[in-house]
Structure 1
Amino acid sequence: MKPLSFKRHRFPTEVIKHALWLYFRFSLSLRDVEDLLAERGIEVSYETIRCWAKKFGPVIARRLKRLRPAPSPRRRLDKMVCGVGGRRMYLWRAVDDEGEVLDLLMQWRRDTQAAKKLLMRLLGRQPVEPERIAIDGFRSYPAALAELGLEHLHRAGRLRENNRAENSHLPIRQRERRMQGFKSQASAQRFLTTHAAVYNTFYTQRHLISRPTVRRFRAEAHAAWAKATA
C-alpha cells in the first residue's frame, strides 16, 4: 500500500492522524476536537481540522475498505431521511447481516431509479455476490430488483429481518445531531462514506464476546487504522 503523504503541512503527521481519528471515530464536533488537542498543548483551528478531514478522509476510507475481510452475502437495504442544507434528502444504505455498512448513497429521490442506483453500486463494488436481499415494504425495491433481474434474491416480510439496517441508523443520527445537520449533498456523502469505513473497522458487539476477544479486536482495529494512515 502506497504511503499516505502528509507533506507541506505545518503540524506533525501524528497530530493530523490523531485529530482525524477523534473526529471520525467518536461523535465529536470539529470544535470538540480542537478543544481536546488544545488540552494537550496543540493549538490548531477547527477549520484546519475540517480541511484535514476533507483531504484525507476519503483516502483513508478507501484504504480501510481494502483491509476489511469479505462481507456476508446476506444483505439488508433501507433508507433514512436526513436534513441537508435545510432540505429533506434520503440516505439509501446497504448493510450485511453482521451490521457492517456496505454502501450508502445520499439522493434527493425516493423512487425506483434511486433504489436501482444503490443496487448497481452495491453489485459493482462488493467482492461477494449477494445470496439474499432483505428489504422493508417499500415498493421501489422489488421494482428495482426486477429491472436488474434479481427477483430471486428478493426477500421481504417480517420487520425483524431488517433490524440490522434499522439499528445501524443510530450512529448516523448521533453525528447528524452533533453536526446540526449536513450542509450539502457532496459533503454529506463524503463524510458518511468515511464515517462508515471507520465505524466498520472499530465496531464490535461487546455484549456478545469475552473481554480478551474485545481486546484482540480493538488491537486489530488500531493496527488497520495505523496501516491505512501510514
Structure 2
Amino acid sequence: MISFKGAQFPKDVILHAMYFYLRYGVSYRDLEEILAERGVVVDHATLNRWVIKYSPLLAIQAHAAKRRTNHSWRMDETYVRVKGSWKYLYRAVDKYGNTLDFMLSERRNTAAAKKFFANALASNGIPKKIVIDKSGANKAGIREVNRIFRRLGCPVSVQAVQSKYLNNLVEQDHRFIKRRIRNMGGFGSFSGASDTLAGIEVANMIRKLQFANPKLSGFRQFVEIAG
C-alpha cells in the first residue's frame, strides 16, 4: 500500500490526476485547467511532483499484483529522448503481449541487458525462452544470466531465440508508450523520465487487462493497485 501521508490533497484526487496524465495525451498545464474546471486548484508543478514521486511506487505494486505471465518472452529496446539525447527503454512482454518488465538505461550494452534480465527474472520467474532481435548485447546478456545460474548450481538454462519476425509483438507494443511520450515533448532529466515511464507502463498494463479486476474502470484498477 502506498502512503499518501502528508499530502495536501486527498488520495483519490492525486490518483485521478496521475491516471489522467499517464493514460491520455494531456500536458501538465492542460491537466491543471481540467482540474480547475472541476473545482480542484492545483499547480502544474505539483502535478509533476505527484507523478515523479508516486509512479515508481505504483510500478512496484503493479508487478506484485499483475496476473501470471507466460514463460515465452519477447524482449526489445526502444529510444527515448532525455535532455536532447537518446536513452534506451528496455521492455519485455510475453507471447500474449502482457507486459513483463521495463527499464530505462543510459546505455545499450551487455551490462544494461544483463541488469534488465536480472530485474525481469526477479519479478516474473525464469522463462523457457527469450526472443530477441539481432542485438549481440542482448544475446550476451542472456549468456551472462545462464552463467549465473550455473554458478549457483541452478539446473535451468534460458534459450535465446534471435528472430525479428517473432519479436514484432514487443515492437508493436512500444507504440502505446511512444505515442504517450511524443505528446510530452521529451524529458528534462533521466530520473524524471524513468519515474514517469514507470507510471505510463502501469497505465498500459491496465489497458491490457493484466490485473485481477478487469471489469472495473481503468481508474478504479489504478486505485486498487495503489492499495
Question: If the TM-score is normalised by the length of the shorter chain, which range does it land in?
Answer: 0.7 to 0.9
AA of the residue aligned to 2:13: V
Pair 160,7 (structure 1): closer, same or farther in 2 beyond 3 Å: same
**Distance in 2 separating the partners of 1:120 and 1:229:** 25
Instruction: Give 1:180's aligned residue.
Output: 185
CA distance in 2, matches of 1:152, 1:38: 52
Matched, 1:137 2:134: yes
Match of 1:153 in 2: 159
Residue 14 of structure 1 aligns with which residue?
12
Whether the 8 Å CA contact 1:75–1:133 is kept in 2: the answer is yes
Unmatched 5+ residue regions in structure 1? 206-215
- Residue aligning to 2:25: 27
Task: Map residues 207-218 of structure 1 onto 2, 5 A cutoff.
Answer: 217-218=214-215
* 1:122–1:86 CA distance, 2 compared to 1 (3 A): same
Q: 1:138 to 1:219 in 2, by over 3 A?
A: same
The answer to whether the 8 A contact 1:61-1:198 is kept is no
Cα distance in 2, alignment partners of residues 64 and 120 from structure 1? 18
TM-score for both structures, normalised by structure 2: 0.85
1:56 is matched with which residue? 54
**TM-score, normalised relative to structure 1:** 0.84
Task: Give the 3 Å change call, closer, same or farther, for CA 117–7 of structure 1 in structure 2.
Answer: closer
Give 1:76 shift.
0.7
**Corresponding residue for 1:165?**
170
Percent of aligned pairs with the same amino acid: 31
AA matched with 2:26: L
| Structure 2 letter corresponding to 1:188 | A
Aligned 8 A contact 1:67 1:224 in 2? no
- The answer to whether the aligner puts 1:124 opposite 2:122 as a matched pair is yes
**What is the CA-CA distance between 1:170 and the residue it aligns to?**
1.0
Deviates more, 1:185-194 or 1:5-14: 5-14
Distance 1:37 1:98 in 2: 37
For 1:101 and 1:197, the matched residues in 2 are separated by 9
The letter for the 1-side match of 2:23 is R
Amino acid at match of 2:161: R
Q: Provide the rounded CA distance (Å) in 2 between the counterparts of 1:118 and 1:154.
A: 15
Q: What is the total number of aligned residue pairs between the two structures? A: 216
Q: Residue 19 of structure 2 contacts residue 219 of structure 2 at CA under 8 Å; is this kept in 1?
A: no
Partner SS for 1:168: helix
Q: Distance in 2 between matches of 1:200 and 1:136?
A: 23
Kindly provide the CA deviation profile for residues 194-225 of structure 1, in whole angstroms up to 9, marking residues without a partner as x: 221221123259xxxxxxxxxx8341755432
The letter of the residue matching 2:37 is E
Moved over 4 A (4+): 220-223
For the aligned residue pairs, the C-alpha RMSD in angstroms reads: 2.3
Between 15-24 and 145-154, the greater mean CA deviation after superposition:
145-154
In the TM superposition, what is the alpha-carbon distance from 1:167 to its structure 2 partner? 0.8
Unaligned runs of 5+ in 2: 148-156
Q: Which segment is superposed worse, 42-51 or 56-65?
A: 56-65
Residue 75 to residue 137, structure 1, CA distance change in 2 (3 Å): same
Distance 1:60 1:110 in 2: 26
